[in-house]
Amino acid sequence: MKSFLPILLVSFLVAIVALPVARPPVAASPKATAEMLKQLEGEFMKAAADKGSQGYLSYYADDSVEVPNGGPLIQGKANIAPGMSFLDDKNNRLLWTPVGADISASGDLGYTYGTFEFHSKNKEGKPTVDYGKYTSIWKLQKDGSWKVVLDMGNASPEPK
Protein backbone atom coordinates (compact mmCIF):
# COMPACT_ATOMS: atom_id res chain seq x y z
CA MET A 1 0.00 0.00 0.00
CA LYS A 2 2.88 2.37 0.78
CA SER A 3 4.33 1.94 -2.73
CA PHE A 4 0.95 2.64 -4.29
CA LEU A 5 0.49 6.00 -2.47
CA PRO A 6 3.40 7.84 -4.21
CA ILE A 7 2.18 6.65 -7.62
CA LEU A 8 -1.34 7.85 -6.82
CA LEU A 9 -0.02 11.21 -5.59
CA VAL A 10 2.12 11.73 -8.71
CA SER A 11 -0.80 10.73 -10.96
CA PHE A 12 -3.06 13.18 -9.16
CA LEU A 13 -0.53 16.04 -9.54
CA VAL A 14 0.00 15.27 -13.22
CA ALA A 15 -3.76 15.28 -13.76
CA ILE A 16 -4.13 18.66 -12.04
CA VAL A 17 -1.40 20.19 -14.18
CA ALA A 18 -2.13 18.48 -17.51
CA LEU A 19 -5.92 18.45 -17.73
CA PRO A 20 -6.50 22.21 -17.83
CA VAL A 21 -3.92 22.48 -20.62
CA ALA A 22 -5.40 19.58 -22.57
CA ARG A 23 -8.89 21.13 -22.74
CA PRO A 24 -9.56 23.69 -25.43
CA PRO A 25 -10.39 27.10 -24.04
CA VAL A 26 -14.06 28.01 -23.94
CA ALA A 27 -14.59 30.60 -26.64
CA ALA A 28 -16.75 33.64 -26.16
CA SER A 29 -19.53 34.19 -28.64
CA PRO A 30 -18.19 34.79 -32.14
CA LYS A 31 -16.96 38.32 -32.74
CA ALA A 32 -19.32 40.35 -34.86
CA THR A 33 -18.00 41.43 -38.25
CA ALA A 34 -19.06 43.81 -40.97
CA GLU A 35 -19.70 40.81 -43.23
CA MET A 36 -22.02 39.35 -40.58
CA LEU A 37 -24.08 42.56 -40.64
CA LYS A 38 -24.25 42.45 -44.45
CA GLN A 39 -25.47 38.86 -44.25
CA LEU A 40 -28.03 39.92 -41.65
CA GLU A 41 -29.27 42.58 -44.10
CA GLY A 42 -29.96 39.80 -46.61
CA GLU A 43 -31.95 37.84 -44.03
CA PHE A 44 -33.79 41.05 -43.10
CA MET A 45 -34.77 41.66 -46.74
CA LYS A 46 -35.92 38.04 -47.17
CA ALA A 47 -38.10 38.33 -44.04
CA ALA A 48 -39.71 41.47 -45.48
CA ALA A 49 -40.32 39.74 -48.84
CA ASP A 50 -41.74 36.58 -47.24
CA LYS A 51 -43.72 38.04 -44.33
CA GLY A 52 -44.36 41.68 -45.25
CA SER A 53 -44.34 44.29 -42.52
CA GLN A 54 -44.21 41.69 -39.73
CA GLY A 55 -41.05 40.16 -41.18
CA TYR A 56 -39.51 43.60 -41.69
CA LEU A 57 -40.33 44.78 -38.20
CA SER A 58 -38.98 41.58 -36.63
CA TYR A 59 -35.51 43.07 -37.25
CA TYR A 60 -36.31 46.30 -35.40
CA ALA A 61 -35.65 46.87 -31.70
CA ASP A 62 -38.66 47.98 -29.66
CA ASP A 63 -37.06 51.40 -29.12
CA SER A 64 -35.91 51.87 -32.72
CA VAL A 65 -36.09 55.18 -34.55
CA GLU A 66 -37.05 55.71 -38.19
CA VAL A 67 -35.80 58.81 -40.04
CA PRO A 68 -38.00 58.90 -43.14
CA ASN A 69 -37.16 60.93 -46.23
CA GLY A 70 -38.81 64.34 -45.84
CA GLY A 71 -40.75 63.40 -42.72
CA PRO A 72 -40.47 63.72 -38.95
CA LEU A 73 -38.67 61.20 -36.74
CA ILE A 74 -40.74 58.19 -35.76
CA GLN A 75 -39.78 56.73 -32.39
CA GLY A 76 -40.58 53.22 -31.29
CA LYS A 77 -41.33 50.08 -33.28
CA ALA A 78 -45.05 50.33 -32.45
CA ASN A 79 -45.17 53.81 -34.03
CA ILE A 80 -43.11 52.73 -37.05
CA ALA A 81 -45.32 49.69 -37.77
CA PRO A 82 -48.30 51.49 -39.39
CA GLY A 83 -46.03 53.15 -41.93
CA MET A 84 -44.61 49.78 -43.01
CA SER A 85 -47.98 48.22 -43.93
CA PHE A 86 -47.23 48.91 -47.63
CA LEU A 87 -44.99 45.82 -47.45
CA ASP A 88 -48.11 43.67 -47.01
CA ASP A 89 -49.23 44.48 -50.57
CA LYS A 90 -47.76 41.82 -52.89
CA ASN A 91 -47.49 44.48 -55.66
CA ASN A 92 -44.83 46.20 -53.55
CA ARG A 93 -41.28 44.95 -53.18
CA LEU A 94 -38.54 46.66 -51.23
CA LEU A 95 -35.08 45.46 -52.24
CA TRP A 96 -31.82 46.72 -50.82
CA THR A 97 -28.14 46.03 -51.22
CA PRO A 98 -25.63 46.74 -48.48
CA VAL A 99 -22.57 48.48 -49.90
CA GLY A 100 -20.62 48.93 -46.67
CA ALA A 101 -20.69 48.06 -43.00
CA ASP A 102 -18.60 48.37 -39.86
CA ILE A 103 -18.67 47.23 -36.24
CA SER A 104 -17.57 49.17 -33.15
CA ALA A 105 -14.42 48.05 -31.34
CA SER A 106 -16.62 46.90 -28.44
CA GLY A 107 -18.52 44.62 -30.85
CA ASP A 108 -22.00 45.68 -29.77
CA LEU A 109 -22.87 48.41 -32.29
CA GLY A 110 -22.58 48.50 -36.05
CA TYR A 111 -23.92 50.13 -39.15
CA THR A 112 -24.73 49.25 -42.72
CA TYR A 113 -25.39 51.47 -45.70
CA GLY A 114 -26.33 50.90 -49.28
CA THR A 115 -28.90 51.39 -51.98
CA PHE A 116 -32.53 50.40 -52.28
CA GLU A 117 -35.22 49.95 -54.91
CA PHE A 118 -38.93 50.13 -54.21
CA HIS A 119 -41.01 48.36 -56.86
CA SER A 120 -44.73 49.12 -56.97
CA LYS A 121 -47.55 49.96 -59.38
CA ASN A 122 -48.86 53.44 -60.05
CA LYS A 123 -52.56 54.41 -60.15
CA GLU A 124 -52.81 53.15 -63.72
CA GLY A 125 -51.36 49.77 -62.71
CA LYS A 126 -48.05 50.33 -64.47
CA PRO A 127 -44.87 49.16 -62.71
CA THR A 128 -42.74 51.89 -61.15
CA VAL A 129 -39.40 51.84 -59.38
CA ASP A 130 -38.14 54.38 -56.85
CA TYR A 131 -34.46 54.44 -55.93
CA GLY A 132 -32.63 55.57 -52.83
CA LYS A 133 -29.89 55.17 -50.25
CA TYR A 134 -30.14 53.95 -46.67
CA THR A 135 -28.19 53.71 -43.45
CA SER A 136 -29.10 51.33 -40.64
CA ILE A 137 -27.57 51.27 -37.19
CA TRP A 138 -27.58 47.85 -35.54
CA LYS A 139 -27.22 47.07 -31.85
CA LEU A 140 -26.47 43.78 -30.12
CA GLN A 141 -29.42 42.94 -27.88
CA LYS A 142 -29.31 41.30 -24.44
CA ASP A 143 -30.53 38.02 -25.97
CA GLY A 144 -27.58 37.96 -28.40
CA SER A 145 -29.57 39.00 -31.47
CA TRP A 146 -28.83 42.07 -33.57
CA LYS A 147 -31.63 44.59 -34.16
CA VAL A 148 -31.94 47.84 -36.09
CA VAL A 149 -32.08 50.77 -33.66
CA LEU A 150 -32.02 53.56 -36.25
CA ASP A 151 -32.92 53.44 -39.92
CA MET A 152 -32.90 56.23 -42.45
CA GLY A 153 -33.22 56.55 -46.17
CA ASN A 154 -33.55 59.14 -48.88
CA ALA A 155 -34.42 59.23 -52.56
CA SER A 156 -31.86 59.01 -55.35
CA PRO A 157 -32.13 59.38 -59.11
CA GLU A 158 -32.29 56.19 -61.17
CA PRO A 159 -28.81 54.64 -61.38
CA LYS A 160 -27.07 54.88 -64.73
Query: Which pLDDT value is given to residue 160?
Result: 85
Domain count, the chain: 1
Residue 28 within any structural domain of the chain: no
Query: Which pLDDT value is given to residue 122?
Result: 94
Residue 141 within any structural domain of the chain: yes
Query: Which pLDDT value is given to residue 31?
Result: 84
Model confidence over 89-114: pLDDT tens digits? 999 999 999 999 999 999 999 999 99
Query: Which pLDDT value is given to residue 3?
Result: 53
Segments of the chain with pLDDT less than 70 = 1-30
pTM of the model: 0.79
Residue 55 within any structural domain of the chain: yes
Residue 5 within any structural domain of the chain: no
Q: What is the H or E stretch that residue 23 is in?
A: none
d(CA 122, CA 160) in angstroms, rounded, equals 22
Query: Which pLDDT value is given to residue 50?
Result: 96
Q: What is the H or E stretch that residue 140 is in?
A: strand 127-140
Q: What is the CATH number of the domain that holds 41?
A: 3.10.450.50
The strand pair at 146-156 and 60-67 is best described as: parallel
Residue 21 within any structural domain of the chain: no
Domain residues for 51?
Answer: 33-156
Query: Which pLDDT value is given to residue 27?
Result: 32
Query: Which pLDDT value is given to residue 10?
Result: 41
Query: Are the C-beta atoms of residues 74 and 66 closer than 8 Å to each other?
Result: yes
Residue 46 within any structural domain of the chain: yes
Residue 128 within any structural domain of the chain: yes
